[in-house]
Amino acid sequence: MIRIGSRSTGRPTLNEVAKLAGVSPITASRALRGISTVAPELVEKVRAAAQSLGYVANPAARALASSCSQTVVVLVPSLSNQLFIETLEAIQDVLRVRGLDVLIGNYHYSPEEEEKLLRNHLVNRPRGILLTGFDHTAASRQMLETSGIPCVHMMELDTRLGAYCVGFSQQQAGAEAAHHLLGRGRRRLAYMAAQLDPRVLQRGEGFRRVLESAGLFDPALQVSTRQASSIGLGGELFARLLDQHPDVDGVFFCNDDLAQGAALEALRLGVAIPERVSLVGFNDLPGSAHMVPRLTSIRTPREEVGQRAAQVLLGLLDGISQHPQVDLGFELVVRESS
């Protein structure tokens, strides 16, 4: 007895395509997946049949049968930071042409939330995973390990374990900012840090070391808060800093929105930039080039990071052996504020 299942989606199945093409379902499957063992003429027949029926493979069935999906999971700490949006776009541009769907997860700078996202996503057996940085919970690392799913870390570099990573040295970037300010003759240098994620701390570390070597490091000028980075916060912190330490003559900000806020606050306070204080931002976010004065910043290669990370992942999926670390560097963009 033949029953038309009410559960069916109504969409044509591989079976129907195969029937129309006069081959077995498995041959149709192979043909459509581009598996070389199928005769070219059969491939053509199957393609035509699929085309005429409007066949689209059922991802659930495919995932169930093969126990792996056509998705790649990307976990970022924030979507409010324009930085990661640009990285995500680049990732999608690369993976989309390979037929991979990109699933975005935002863990709001919380490793615990990242762990939850990872757990939720792993049950779907993604083809690959792209993570931001190396600051994951032990459970996250464990899950990644046992899942065996290819993973690439973005934004930071790390030579431990041979983990695949695409990024740049956050510490060197911080050092570069310090060198630049010193080169401008600045001596009372502050670091202004919000969010305090690992990369912010690394930049601060690089900045500190250079100042220490120069004998100019003053812990009192290290402003840090766990609050989220924002323009408003940058203004507040900058005003307070100048109030408490009027002799400050240079500030490195962990992110451009802080620097933008500081520049605007300086306008209000009548503090001359860069004459009295030099400002150096980080990431070179969209608005920075248009501030008054235009902000000096360290441009980070976020699109390139996304693109290369996605490419490395594809290489992993294709079994291509490649160097685990990709250093994309960064670029100091000198404008009017320093």
Q: Which residues contact DNA by CB under 7 A?
A: 3, 5-9, 11, 13-15, 23-27, 29-30, 32-33, 36-39, 42, 55, 57-58, 61-62, 64-67
Choice between 176 and 197, CB closer to its own copies: 197
Query: Under the criterion CB under 8 A, does residue 162 sit at the interface with its own copies?
Result: no
With binding defined as CB under 8 A, does residue 101 bind its own copies?
yes
Please choose, out of 40-48, 84-92, 164-172, 306-314, the segment that lies near its own copies by the rule CB under 8 A.
Answer: 84-92
Separation between Cα atoms, residue 287 and residue 293, nearest integer Å: 11
DSSP β-ladder status, 128-132 and 71-76: parallel
Sole binder of its own copies in the list 125, 179, 188, 245 (CB under 8 A): 125
DSSP string, 142-163: HHHHHHT--EEEEE----GGG-
Q: What are phi and psi of 65, to 5 degrees?
A: -70, -35
- Which member of 42, 53, 104, 334 binds its own copies (CB under 8 A)? 104
Site membership for its own copies, residue 142 (CB under 8 A): no
82 versus 222: smaller Cβ distance to its own copies: 82
In this complex, which beta carbon is closest to DNA, that of residue 13 or of residue 325?
Answer: 13
CA 282 from centre of chain: 16
Instruction: Indicate the DSSP class of residue 229.
Output: P
Could you say whether residue 271 binds its own copies (CB under 8 A)?
no
Separation CA 278–CA 190 (nearest Å): 10
Question: Which whole-number Å values give the CA distances from 336 to 17, 180, 219, 254, 275, in the listed order?
Answer: 65, 13, 27, 18, 10
| 63 belongs to the binding site for its own copies (CB under 8 A) | yes
Rounded to whole angstroms, how far apart are CA atoms 109 and 281?
21
- Least spacing, CB of residue 3 vs its own copies, in Å: 15
Can you tell me the distance from the alpha carbon of 147 to that of 142, in angstroms, rounded to the nearest whole number? 8
For residue 155, the cross-strand partners are 167
Q: Please name which of 243, 234, 240, 247 lies closest in space to residue 276, comparing C-alpha atoms.
A: 247
Binds its own copies (CB under 8 A): choice among 35, 48, 64, 272? 64
Q: Does 239 bind its own copies (CB under 8 A)?
A: no
Q: Which stretch binds its own copies (CB under 8 A): 43-51, 83-91, 155-163, 315-323?
A: 83-91
Residue numbers at the binding site for its own copies (CB under 8 A): 7-9, 11, 56-61, 63-67, 69, 79-80, 82, 85, 88-89, 92, 101, 103-104, 106, 120, 123-125, 230-232, 235, 257, 260-261, 264-265, 267-268, 286-287, 289-292
